[in-house]
Structure 1
Amino acid sequence: MRILFTVANSPSHIRALVPAIRAAEAAGHTVAIATAATSAEDIAAYGIEHLPAGLDILELVARTLEESGTTFAHLTAMERTVDFFIGPPAEAMAEDVIDSGWNPDVIVRSTLEFGGVLAAEVLGVPHASVAIGGAVNVISPPSTLAPLMAPLRASFGLPPDPAGEASFRHLHACLMPETYDPAEAAVPHSRFYRHENPGRRGDALPPVLAGLPTDKPWVFASLGTLAAFASDGISLLKSVVTAVTQLDCVAVISTGRGVAHQEFGSLPSTVVLVESVPQPLLLECCDLFITHAGHNSVREAMRAGVPLVCTPLFSEQPYNARRCAEAGVGEQLRTETMTADDVLAACREVLDDPRYRNNARRIRRDMLALPTLETFVADLQSLVRSGSGRSNGH
């Protein structure tokens, strides 16, 4: 079976598909990931075949910000997320996949990539989706997708879809248990599978971490791969650093690329700044995760049973943070007004109250009880064998 995964070229979006891709490869299927050519190095680090396709979303974001003078948070507010990813990005992806000659038997798209739906229908093959973010049922329900996809469907000669059912016509994979977000089951044709944390070739923790004390709680902080686009990203990071220096802990802060560490001044030996770190590995030995509440980060933390302090920045992150608070696995802060004292108080609350860790471990147990991604691959194979998709397009 030939399986083509389609995804926007955000590093976090690509990362979210890696476990499913590896499960398909392990089952002996031919697999490739279709995303922008500029992501070649990122894809190579995972050892996956790359089909260059679609627009560079990161370049599009940067250009739109410059031309509009708006903020990244405004541009990517949850209610505008689908508007941004549908349109030229979906059209370009569909055209490139159709013209590539790769000839997939099934297309699996991330939930914020919509060209895969169009390409699958034109090619007459089934398609599935994988939830790479939270709030799929809020961001992209069929009623929202229908009017946005209508002009694209018409341009590719596809039949009208007034109810918006086409995008979730066959199979939607959720990688968090229903106990974390019961609303996710409302997405048509949803099935739940066990998330496995991804890794790159040669992943290892920085040697500097090996000699740090083990008699204190370990706190990890990261605001994600797109934090640099947030106008207040550095100031938020400084608040986090100030807070953890007042905790009796070992803290590892992932600043992201292009951040001058001298901006943070002199720090205790137990507070370590790194440009990046293999997040799933570090979470295995952490007691608390301060995070922007991106879905990858929440999912990887729950897989490790680590509670959270959430500092959401944009897109569906506020929704994810609310879900974490409602599930009792973390505290949610209002990033617009957040101070170092707020971060400190939230960290102390989560570290001192065992219910947060207990709830995170409960979600972890629920994840471990889900069917594996091998089952997802088998479900894709059943979809192909059933002949689904042959009558949906041309």
Structure 2
Amino acid sequence: MRVLFVTWAWPSHFLPLVQLAWACRAAGHEVLVASQPSLEGEAVGAGLPFAAVGRDLDIRPLVRPFFSRLVDENRTVEWAEMRRWGTANVHTYVLLAEAMAEDTTALARHWRPDLVVCEPTTYAGPLAAAAVGVPAVRQLWGADYTYRTREFEPDALRELAARLGLTEDVETLGVASVDPCPPSLQTDAPVRRIPLRYAPFHGTGSLPGPPAGSGRPRILVTGSSAVAELSGRDVPDLPVLLRALGTLDADVVAVVPERERARLRTLPGGLPDTVRLVGRTPLHLLLHGSDLLVHQGGGGSVLAGSAAGVPQLVAPRFPDHLFNARQLAATGAGLLLAPGALRPDAVREAAAALLSGPDHRAAAQGLRHEIEAMPPAAAAVAGLERVAHDPGRGPSMTSTTGELP
């Protein structure tokens, strides 16, 4: 079987595909990653063959008006408000598809995959699959946030689909969704799922030396660069978090991009001595031995913390962050602090509750056990094989949530 993995060139959208791509190769299948040229280093570094398609597109100026407004207004945005925007919700992803779809389709005609696997916002994947007549499968990052926008996608993609010679609307959900999310954390969207036991992979890197054995709890903080990059703002969240957490009887390890580290070093009064800053390090290398994970709510961070059985404190800024944080909080394994509530006293109170509360720890361990009970990657590959050989066994939009039979 030949499997074409398609993603646009943002590493956090590519990395969730790596586990399944490796599993396909381990099962003896041919694999090829197709993305915009700037992802080549990341894909090859992950040990996967790569084909450049289309052109790179800098999304930052496209999304900056929206994200900078969220930061300036110190708020998140609810889906009820966003839904009124209609196809504008997927405008950036449609532009990415326009930059990739023709070349991806040409590659598919040349390479002749049996199956196309794509991350949920890379519409070039299902478009190319439809154009060459093979099934498409979504690979989810975690809780299915992007299912919300499906109602707008046919209208938004109709013109591009016509340029590819497609006369009918393309089903962007594909025929099935590979799902690494534990059931109690997932939404109840009506899609057919191929469950996958999640194995964290956040890129290659080295462990920056073992932490000092102080005997105190260890708090791991991730300082994502995405909010600063996409909003174009110096976001105040990380200094507030680190200063507040540094007053607890705990060791704080913060994974912070170089640009943010330089800013933190110049803060008046500096940071508490209990706070240790490390450079870019894959999250999965640092979670072992941590007692609390603090982050902004990305799907990869939520799943990594869940797989490690670690309680999580989430400070969301973007709509998907808020969605993920609420899904996590509903399980009892985490707490969320919205931008307006991100004050030092609130941070200390929430962190202390997560560190000392047996219910939160039990819920976090429950998520870990759910993930461990999910089918291994080899079983997910078998599910892909069944889809490739019999696409008609994929779901209709009235199908119930459940494993692909």
TM-score range, shorter chain: 0.7 to 0.9
- What does 1:250-265 correspond to in 2, within 5 Å? 250-259=251-260, 260=262, 261-264=264-267, 265=269
Question: In structure 1, what is the equivalent of residue 94 of structure 2?
Answer: 87
Amino acid at match of 1:25: R
Once the two structures are superposed, the pairs formed by residues 1-394 of structure 1 within 5 Å of their partners are: 1-57=1-57, 59=58, 61-64=59-62, 71=68, 73=70, 79=82, 82-100=89-107, 101-136=110-145, 138-141=147-150, 143-161=151-169, 166-183=171-188, 186-198=189-201, 200-201=203-204, 203-207=205-209, 210-229=210-229, 230=231, 234-259=235-260, 260=262, 261-264=264-267, 265-386=269-390
Residue 169 of structure 1, CA deviation: 4.0
Contact 2:139 2:177 in 1 (8 A): yes
Shift of 1:232: 5.3
CA contact (8 A) 2:138 2:174 kept: no
Closer, same or farther: CA 233–372 of 1 in aligned 2, 3 Å: farther
Separation in 2 of the partners of 1:178 and 1:103?
A: 34
- SS state at 2:118 partner: strand
Q: Matches of 1:382 and 1:106 in 2, distance apart?
A: 11
| Contact 1:133–1:316, Cα closer than 8 Å, also in 2 | no
Q: CA offsets per residue over residues 277-335 of structure 1, 9 Å max, x none? A: 22012112100001111100000110110110010111311011111111101111012
Relative to structure 1, is the Cα distance of residues 225 and 28 closer, same or farther in structure 2, using a 3 angstrom cutoff? farther
Cα pair distance change 1:231/1:267, threshold 3 Å = same
Q: CA deviation at 1:25?
A: 1.4
* Alignment RMSD: 2.5
Superposed displacement of residue 92, structure 1? 2.5
Separation in 1, partners of 2:187, 2:240: 33
Letter in structure 2 aligned against 1:97? T
| 4+ residue runs over 6 A deviation | none
Q: CA deviation at 1:156?
A: 1.8
Output the amino acid matched with 2:101: A
| Alignment length (residue pairs) | 377
> How far off its partner does 1:257 sit?
3.3
Shift of 1:123: 0.9
Distance 2:309 2:234 in 1: 27
Report the residue type matching 2:119 in the other structure. S
Identity %: 26
TM score, norm. by length of structure 1: 0.88
Deviates more, 1:237-246 or 1:188-197: 188-197
Structure 1 residue runs of 5 or longer lacking an equivalent are 390-394
TM-score by length of 2: 0.86
Asked whether the 8 Å contact 1:181–1:323 carries over to 2, the reply is yes
Specify the SS of the correspondent of 1:377.
helix
2: CA distance, partners of 1:44 / 1:73: 35
Q: Would you say the 8 A contact 1:54–1:89 is kept in 2? A: no
Unaligned runs of 5+ in 2: 394-405
Work out the CA distance in 2 between the residues paired with 1:281 and 1:253: 13
